[in-house]
Amino acid sequence: MRELVLGLDIGGTSSRAQVGDLGGRVLGSGSAGGGNPNSHPPEQAVAQVGAAARAALDGLDGAAVRSAVLGMAGVSAMTDPRVAGLFEDGWKSLGLDCPVRVVSDCEVAFAAGTGAADGTVLIAGTGAIAARIEDRREVAVAGGHGWLLGDEGSAFWLGREAVRHALRTTDRGEVPGTGLARAVLEQVLGDTAGDPPALRKRLITAVNWAAPIRLAELAPLVTADCAAGGAGSGIVARAAAELADTAVRARRDTGPVVLAGGLTADGNPVGTALRAELAARLPGVPLPAAGPGAAGAAWLAALDLTGEPPRYPEI
């Protein structure tokens, strides 16, 4: 029987799975909704993770999977025996009889970006966190404190700064006709009707009534305004500096800094500014981009099995 490995990358908005063999061939992949048990009811999280894994295993024998790694934002939830038990039942329903090693999403992202054993990873998406990696294990973190206490430079942070910019505009007695402030008012309120005091009150009320995560949906307004040379440029520059601070706090003077998450992607103004910031602070240090997290998790699963696995093509 051909030996297979399963990698899973689980976040708050999506769950992704990949099955490969020890020759580096990808045999199946799948995706589903968010499976972070800190963001969703545990039963729902297990169902989404199971759906992604089931799609990746379609036509394959779950019993042939000899090693599995699950990288999860919200890995702390697995210390709850009830949550861990639900996931164990989920593995059994897939026909898996191998151990499933649960690690942080930082370990998976690092493996998806480099074959090095030591270094730093910075994830900047809805939230933001950096981790120091030694022997491919997370040994220290910086950031990742969540929307209320931190996540500086993240999509949430960008959205909050965009709202603050709009509020400062109304505080000056202005109804913005163009630019970032107007874009925020239109997206949050649907219009810019009313005088500045009325707009100010409406915006404050709408943002505070909405779920905090909705602020992250405003991040594209900032990056678009930055590309147009507007006020978003200053916010992007500050985001890059905050993210670089987070990475440097986690780092020791060794290995690459792997960049992961949507804000670090090629073409995103935050990613461009971040690379320039890190290059100035850490001259000569490689800044590889992470590939798909599920591929990194599958590679770690193969590493557990053989010690020196091939890398999968997406990495």
Q: Is residue 311 part of a domain?
A: no
Burial of 283 by CB count in 10 Å (0-12 exposed, 13-18 middle, 19+ buried)? exposed
For 151, phi then psi, to 5°, come to 60, 40
Tell me, what's the pLDDT at 165?
96
Does 146 lie in the same domain as 206? yes
Q: Sort strands 257-260 and 119-124 into parallel, antiparallel or unpaired.
A: parallel
Does 132 lie in the same domain as 105? no
Q: Is residue 137 part of a domain?
A: yes
Q: Which two tokens stand for residue 208?
A: 């505070």
Q: Is residue 190 part of a domain?
A: yes
Does 59 lie in the same domain as 138? no
Domain encompassing residue 51: 4-112+292-306
Does 270 lie in the same domain as 239? yes
Tell me, what's the pLDDT at 191?
86
Does 125 lie in the same domain as 213? yes
Does 98 lie in the same domain as 162? no
Percentage of the chain surpassing pLDDT 90? Answer: 68
Q: Is residue 313 part of a domain?
A: no
CATH at residue 155: 3.30.420.40
Tell me, what's the pLDDT at 198?
92
Tell me, what's the pLDDT at 1?
63
Q: Is residue 25 part of a domain?
A: yes
- List the beta strands (DSSP E) in the chain: 4-10, 14-21, 26-33, 65-72, 100-104, 119-124, 128-134, 137-143, 257-260
Spatial separation of the C-alpha atoms in residues 111 and 256, rounded to whole Å: 11
Does 175 lie in the same domain as 214? yes
Does 133 lie in the same domain as 24? no
The count of structural domains within the chain is 2
Does 279 lie in the same domain as 173? yes
Read out DSSP for 164-198? HHHHHHHHTT----SHHHHHHHHHHHSS--S-HHH
Does 100 lie in the same domain as 220? no
Q: Is residue 314 part of a domain?
A: no
Does 301 lie in the same domain as 233? no
Does 263 lie in the same domain as 136? yes
Give the residue ranges of the chain where pLDDT is below 70. 1
Q: Is residue 50 part of a domain?
A: yes
Tell me, what's the pLDDT at 163?
97
The answer, as to whether pTM is greater than 0.95, is: no
Structure-token match 């220290």, residue found = 140
Q: Is residue 312 part of a domain?
A: no
Q: What is the DSSP letter of 289?
A: B
